[in-house]
Structure 1
């Protein structure tokens, strides 16, 4: 019989304490964020999550690109950073007023765009790049999504909200039809990427699959000889696609035009930096995240030809159309431009 996975037992004390702190913060959003006053130009609060998909933010933070671009706008910008897990927590933080910029997958963006249309009018700001997401299993009997059964548990950051959850539903719809898009939902379980990776590498727990992101998926493949790829998000979405995006409310964008401009320009600076200096970017990731990841593995991920660091969104509309067809969103977007703010820096999106 498989042991029930207890994430706190698999990780060092300082990581357990950090995870507990994140949970406390997310619970507190409703209490303190709802009454958060609007602030003037020169302050920005950014919510990010775990993984290399947030490398552009790591670089912007380390190199102080936001502050430098702010100086060009005549501003001394104060930047606050908050790390959360799961699109649901990130969306709660944004709507409660606890953060100004939210970082999550395309799925959470579409969910919050749909729910706030005509109200807070949340839209995408930029992409953090194109990176493939792998559904990894350590069960040799699971070779395709059709092999999952009641005994399996698939970890992902947020059930029915995260981009991993939506891509899994999209894959199910392609295999069994739209009416069975949620066929695999009963096997999914919300778990932060670091905890899920620990379970896949260790084996012997109820968590035997994880739809993650870099570097956790690569660590799983390297750390457990039984770990293998069941599904690649690029195969579902039809090629390279924006995995993680940033979004904000219309109020923040309209009320802080110089701060917003500095932030978008800083992202473009970070994308150019990573492309030109992958080794330095790897060192920044390790430093900012206090990561123990193998540097060689990290560089392999950053230099992977399938990975492209660009801020214009790519190949997001197919998922949006799917979510509308199955009723996951009520408003039908005519194009990707409906759920992204109009900006010259992202004009080449899709």
Structure 2
């Protein structure tokens, strides 16, 4: 199925380059002046697109008297991103709040991975092309739902949160058996083309909007209905990288803050940046309208992440209970306030 889905993605112009091959063995610690960033797919990573396009890390590095070398890697799924961070292959990981909480819990007292910043607030939609599926209670063993990483990605955690809300905490994993790990571009292509077992996708922008342009695809669940406006995707790092590279780290946070202001205040330029950096096959005017959605907020300040953290502890997915969002975020001058 994987090969057929990939071919579908290419034929529909939705495919993107995936990292091929295994991750390197644990790398030698990076000296001040180099940063390696792992991102994934979608508009939720727009701030990183702006940072990259405008060379903002390099700009703020020079202000610190430092020439910073920036390396970019694209992965799919929180598991791959967490593995890359813990293996020493990357310094900054971009993934959902679910993977962040998992790796924070796993490394507490050792590498002490924590979040650096949010990438903004966006609703994520659970989509289906099966007309019989109106709510999550309608999914059956005949349905398959694409998520970036089974059981770990923020989409998987949202699905578990919804299942617990529907059937109780003991049934939080009730829909896990119906999920498949498929990158967003490939899952969108498969959902649009049909002809495979995959008829559901817990998506993100702009892929969910591209899919919804097809009248056969509909929204089953909106993540904002579960948690209210929230920051589903975060950037995180190890305590060692932050401590050993203070100038590089500071330049990165300043770059993100400028990128957030740029994206929030100039949606047309932000859309142009996304198309230019990602080479996405999406109509510019359509993308501008999408980015201008009042539900979208480009900000580095996290919002409403703690309910998912509390839920994951409650179901046993976390061994350590965070008392607040501050437990799993580095306390830097930015972001100042969060939740």
TM-score range, shorter chain: over 0.9
- TM normalised by structure 2 equals 0.97
Q: In 2, Cα distance between the equivalents of 1:204 and 1:172? A: 27
Q: In 2, Cα distance between the equivalents of 1:101 and 1:240? A: 25
Contact 1:5 1:199 in 2 (8 A): no
What SS does the corresponding residue of 2:20 show, helix, strand or coil? Answer: helix
Structure 2 counterpart of 1:316, from 305, 308, 321? 305
Q: In 1, Cα distance between the equivalents of 2:6 and 2:306? A: 38
Residue number in structure 1 paired with 2:217: 227
Deviations 1:170-195 (Å, cap 9, x if unpaired)? 00001100000000001000000000
Task: State whether structure 2 residue 272 is matched by structure 1 residue 280.
Answer: no
Contact 2:61 2:247 in 1 (8 A): yes
In the TM superposition, residue 16 of structure 1 has moved relative to its aligned partner by: 7.0
In the TM superposition, residue 17 of structure 1 has moved relative to its aligned partner by: 8.7
Residue number in structure 2 paired with 1:42: 33
Provide the alpha-carbon RMSD of the alignment: 1.5
Q: In 1, Cα distance between the equivalents of 2:72 and 2:65? A: 22
Task: State whether structure 2 residue 180 is matched by structure 1 residue 189.
Answer: yes
What SS does the corresponding residue of 1:75 show, helix, strand or coil? Answer: coil
In the TM superposition, residue 318 of structure 1 has moved relative to its aligned partner by: 0.2
Contact 2:149 2:180 in 1 (8 A): yes
What SS does the corresponding residue of 1:79 show, helix, strand or coil? Answer: strand
Correspondences of 1:1-350 after superposition (within 5 Å):
6-12=4-10, 18-19=17-18, 22-24=19-21, 27=22, 29=23, 32-34=24-26, 36-222=27-213, 224-237=214-227, 239-350=228-339
In the TM superposition, residue 226 of structure 1 has moved relative to its aligned partner by: 1.0
- TM normalised by structure 1 equals 0.94
Deviations 1:202-259 (Å, cap 9, x if unpaired)? 123210000010000000001x21101000111111x110011000000000000110
Contact 2:14 2:189 in 1 (8 A): no
What SS does the corresponding residue of 2:198 show, helix, strand or coil? Answer: coil
Deviations 1:94-114 (Å, cap 9, x if unpaired)? 000000000000000000000
Q: In 1, Cα distance between the equivalents of 2:149 and 2:110? A: 24
In the TM superposition, residue 23 of structure 1 has moved relative to its aligned partner by: 3.4
In the TM superposition, residue 298 of structure 1 has moved relative to its aligned partner by: 1.2
Contact 1:142 1:148 in 2 (8 A): yes
Contact 2:127 2:208 in 1 (8 A): yes
Contact 1:4 1:206 in 2 (8 A): no
In the TM superposition, residue 12 of structure 1 has moved relative to its aligned partner by: 2.6
Q: In 1, Cα distance between the equivalents of 2:289 and 2:158? A: 24
In the TM superposition, residue 300 of structure 1 has moved relative to its aligned partner by: 1.7
What SS does the corresponding residue of 1:11 show, helix, strand or coil? Answer: helix
Q: What is the count of residue pairs matched by the alignment?
A: 338
Q: In 2, Cα distance between the equivalents of 1:17 and 1:137? A: 22
What SS does the corresponding residue of 1:345 show, helix, strand or coil? Answer: coil
Q: After alignment, is 6-15 or 334-343 more displaced?
A: 6-15
